[in-house]
A and B are shown apart, each in its own frame.
Chain A
Amino acid sequence: MIEGIFVDGLIFSIMVMGVLISYRIMDLADLTCDGTFALGAAVAAVSLKSGMGITVSLLFAFAAGTIGGVVTALIHCRLKVPGLLAGILTMTMLYSVNLRILGGANLPLLNVEKFYTKIPKLLSFLPSEWASLVGTILVALLVKVLFDLFFRMDLGLSIGAMGGNEQVVISQGMNPETLKIIGLGLSNGLIGLSGGLLAQYQGFADANLGTGMAVQGLAAIMIGEFLFSSNKIYLITLRAICGAIIYKALMFFGRKYGYLIGITPNDFKLLTGVLVILSLMIAKARGKASDAGAKKKAIDKAAHQHAEAATGDDNA
């Protein structure tokens, strides 16, 4: 049971890292993820069905997600459409694409070898749920390490700089469109990969798998940001992963014990939204407080420097 929450949370955390790229690093609210998550699931499922193997299925899920992100970036940049609208366009179109790929609303993965049947065999000394957990940890860790590495590279830093201030990258002679294409591509690649893994975990792909993903991802990011604050990328991803797991745990306990207070899974979307709104309100209050704090610190520091400069003049 507890392993299940972690597996679920870690699969979800890969998608949350994708949302982290668009929402936090690029400062661009991208709704493509609802479509690319299901796209990843669909592509992985179909690949497995046609016997392409687990690794290939996951790579295809990543690649398909990437294409989805690139389409959004192109609509956004070339047609000068706001990012939000570009994402909604792609997401909507992907719904039909996903139904085509799946050949129906859903595709069960019975009797095919998938990640979560293969791993327990490889790690047969462990109970199968724990083996699944180990496998998921490894995948999530790999993604996290590559993610952190990428955002310390010059290209990754430039994408971050663009999110903070587009003029900075323009002034350095970089085409912001190229950076957006790369950023949204990677973001949705991870989201697709996450979808591909989830399909293998739950044993089916579904065209509705991605509904509400954007908001759930935001909720996870915001939960993570309550844990600690940092500007170091490896801590930012770490807290996003923690946020993802906590979110899934909340949902799990909501499903299990929610009936005691009359909550059903149908209420989860509302509750997730409320959670995001609450987080935003708390973050705003906190931001005000820390702004005031930072200002005071800066003033103190300046005063201190003035004093130092003054004594320095005396000595001279």
Chain B
Amino acid sequence: MLKIDHVTKVFYPGTVNEKLAIDDVSLHIRKGEVVCVIGSNGSGKSTLFNLVSGTYPVTSGKIILDGKDVTSSPEYKRAFIIGRIFQDPTKGTAANMSVEDNMITASRKGMRGLKISLNDKKREEFRELLKPIGLENRLKDNVGLLSGGQRQALTLLMTVLSNPKMILLDEHTAALDPGNAATVMALTQKYISQYKLTAVMVTHNMQFAIEYGNRLIMMDEGQIILDVSGEDKQKLTVEKLVEVFKKIKNKEFASDRGLLAI
């Protein structure tokens, strides 16, 4: 599904601000995998997502999406395959438009023409889809009037509406209060299983990362320092993770073999 091949990203190369954000990362994510990504602040998680989505160009390396080399294709073209949800709930919706207008805009990918797709039949469909998130009576309200949690839930719904093959979630519940965060997370899990999505999710909650999904990746200083899946992942505990992280940080265990034999 997604192949990241020796990708490196340097911000402001050749200046005093030069910053190696992604350091020769290779990663292969298969169709249907649900991957949790953890790592401390500034370790490069968001940057990796930005490189995969095409927000920034890579400094070197290749990105293969769904079998196609997309390294030099613009963000909007990659969006045909990728659905993306940001930490900031205002990023996924247009605040100046109504819920129904947002949904009709999100209902498919690609350039639009002179058709009026929004009709009563669509409205009814939207109402049904909005019921689980309690927004079925807010179709005509501007999205700007919704709370952060409602907006994020709507973003999630809009993202799955246009059938992406893969979704990238970057701490998408971090800006919400605990109640809303739990609701949005439950909804996320529901959609991922319902639409059989390939998903990569950045989270700061280690316990969650261990319990959810079938693969866990830890990043540090622009590198992937841990990549476990299957049974190995099931055997993980937060204590073990912290221990591994500390060991790696102290460079006591530098070899890959050591990392994998948890």
The proximity string for B residues 204-233 relative to A, scoring 1 for CB distances below 8 Å and 0 otherwise, is 000000000000000000000000000000
- Residues A171 and B110 in contact, CB atoms below 8 Å apart: no
- The smallest C-beta distance from B68 to any residue of chain A, in angstroms, reads 14
Q: Which residues of B contact A302 (CB under 8 A)?
A: 147
Q: Which residues of B contact A173 (CB under 8 A)?
A: 76-77, 79-80, 109-111
Q: Which residues of A contact B102 (CB under 8 A)?
A: 161, 168
Partner-binding segment picked from A32-40, A118-126, A149-157, A250-258: A149-157
- Residues A171 and B83 in contact, CB atoms below 8 Å apart: yes
Residue from A160, A163, A167, A169 having most chain B Cβ neighbours under 10 A: A167
The SS class assigned to the B binding surface is loop
User: Known contacts A154-B115, A231-B142; is A168 also within 8 Å of B94 by CB?
Assistant: yes
From 83 to 102 in chain B, residues with beta carbon under 8 angstroms from any chain A beta carbon are: 83-84, 86, 90-98, 101-102
Q: Which residues of A contact B74 (CB under 8 A)?
A: 175
Q: Give the nearest-CB partner of B150 in chain A.
A: A298
- Residues A172 and B113 in contact, CB atoms below 8 Å apart: no
A174 to B145, CA, bound (A): 26
A165 to B142, CA, bound (A): 13
User: Known contacts A164-B97, A172-B162, A175-B74; is A154 also within 8 Å of B145 by CB?
Assistant: no
User: Known contacts A174-B111, A231-B98; is A168 also within 8 Å of B116 by CB?
Assistant: no
Q: Give the nearest-CB partner of A298 in chain B.
A: B147
- Residues A175 and B76 in contact, CB atoms below 8 Å apart: yes
Q: Does B134 contact A (CB under 8 A)?
A: yes
From 131 to 162 in chain B, residues with beta carbon under 8 angstroms from any chain A beta carbon are: 134, 140, 142, 145-147, 159, 162
Q: Does B185 contact A (CB under 8 A)?
A: no
A167 to B159, CA, bound (A): 12
Q: Which residues of B contact A160 (CB under 8 A)?
A: 94, 96-97, 101
Q: Does A282 contact B (CB under 8 A)?
A: no
User: Known contacts A155-B114, A157-B105, A157-B112; is A165 also within 8 Å of B95 by CB?
Assistant: yes
User: Known contacts A152-B118, A298-B146; is A172 also within 8 Å of B94 by CB?
Assistant: no
The proximity string for A residues 25-52 relative to B, scoring 1 for CB distances below 8 Å and 0 otherwise, is 0010000000000000000000000000
The SS class assigned to the A binding surface is helix
Which of A153, A162, A231, A298 contacts B114 (CB under 8 A)? Answer: A153
- The smallest C-beta distance from B75 to any residue of chain A, in angstroms, reads 5
A300 to B91, CA, bound (A): 25
- The smallest C-beta distance from B177 to any residue of chain A, in angstroms, reads 10
User: Known contacts A157-B101, A158-B105, A170-B75; is A164 also within 8 Å of B116 by CB?
Assistant: no
From 7 to 39 in chain B, residues with beta carbon under 8 angstroms from any chain A beta carbon are: none
- Residues A170 and B96 in contact, CB atoms below 8 Å apart: no
Q: Which residues of A contact B91 (CB under 8 A)?
A: 165, 167
Which of B76, B83, B94, B146 contacts A161 (CB under 8 A)? Answer: B94
The proximity string for A residues 127-149 relative to B, scoring 1 for CB distances below 8 Å and 0 otherwise, is 00000000000000000000001
Q: Which residues of B contact A169 (CB under 8 A)?
A: 76, 105
A269 to B71, CA, bound (A): 52
Q: Does A4 contact B (CB under 8 A)?
A: no
- The smallest C-beta distance from A22 to any residue of chain B, in angstroms, reads 14
A150 to B117, CA, bound (A): 12
Q: Which residues of A contact B70 (CB under 8 A)?
A: none
Q: Which residues of A contact B79 (CB under 8 A)?
A: 170-173
- The smallest C-beta distance from B147 to any residue of chain A, in angstroms, reads 5
- Residues B90 and A154 in contact, CB atoms below 8 Å apart: no
Residue from A150, A165, A297 having most chain B Cβ neighbours under 10 A: A165
Which of A150, A152, A171 contacts B92 (CB under 8 A)? Answer: A171
From 231 to 255 in chain A, residues with beta carbon under 8 angstroms from any chain B beta carbon are: 231
Residue from A178, A297, A302 having most chain B Cβ neighbours under 10 A: A302
- Residues B76 and A168 in contact, CB atoms below 8 Å apart: no
Interface residues of A (CB under 8 A from B): 27, 149-150, 152-155, 157-158, 160-165, 167-176, 178, 231, 294, 297-298, 302, 305
> Known pairs A160-B94, A164-B94. 5 more at Cβ < 8 A?
A154-B114, A154-B116, A160-B97, A161-B102, A176-B76
5 closest Cβ pairs, A-B complex: A164-B94, A154-B112, A173-B109, A164-B96, A161-B94
Supply 25 A–B pairs (Cβ within 8 Å), ascending by A.
A149-B116, A153-B114, A153-B116, A154-B113, A155-B111, A155-B113, A157-B101, A160-B94, A160-B101, A161-B102, A164-B97, A165-B92, A167-B91, A168-B106, A170-B79, A171-B79, A171-B106, A173-B76, A173-B79, A173-B111, A175-B76, A231-B98, A294-B145, A298-B146, A305-B134
